Amino acid sequence: MFDASDPAGIARFMERTGYRVELRVDGKGDPVIAGRISRSDYLMQFYECEGGTFCNSVQLIVQAPRPAALTGDSANAFNARWRYVRITYDQAQVKLQMDVNLDAGVTADNLEDTLDIWRQLVEIFEREVLGAR
C-alpha cells in the first residue's frame, strides 16, 4: 500500500517502474518528486501535509510555454474530453494537472495504473496542446 505520507517509498516505486525521479523539498518544507516523462519535465507535489510529512494527496504537473494557438475554447475542449486531467494557462505558460487522492492508501497496482494514465495523458497533451510530433 502507498499513501502520500511516504514520498520516498513512492519515489522508489516510481523508479522501479521506469520513471525518472528526484525527491526534493519545496519552499514550504513539503516533499516534491521531480522527473521527466515523455518529452516533458513533471512535478509530483504533495498536499495537505503536516510539517512536511503525513500528506494526504498529490498533484502531478507538467508546465510548458503557452502555444500561440491555445485559446479558451481549445482549453475547454481538452478539459471536457479528458476526465482525469485539466489544463490551465496564462499569457506565458500552460499547465497540465492531475490530482490524486492517496488518503488511506492505494495498492501498488492502483498507483501503477494511475501513473500510466498520467503518462498517456502527458503524451496526448504534448501532441494535442503543445503540437509535439
Mean residue pLDDT of the chain comes to: 94
| Percent of the chain residues past pLDDT 90, beyond the cut | 83
Region of 128 (left: φ > 0; alpha: ψ -120 to 50; beta: rest) is: alpha
What's the CA gap between 92 and 104, in Å, rounded?
37
CATH of span 7-128: 3.30.1460.10
Strand arrangement of the beta sheet that strand 31-37 belongs to: 22-25, 31-37, 40-47, 57-65, 93-101, 86-89
Mean pLDDT of 108-126: 96
Residue 19 has pLDDT above 80, yes or no: yes
Query: Distances in Å between the alpha carbon of 11 and those of 53, 68, 82, 120?
Result: 15, 35, 26, 19
- pLDDT of res. 38: 92
- pLDDT of res. 28: 87
Place of cell 487522492: 101
pLDDT tens, 76-93? Answer: 999 999 999 999 999 999
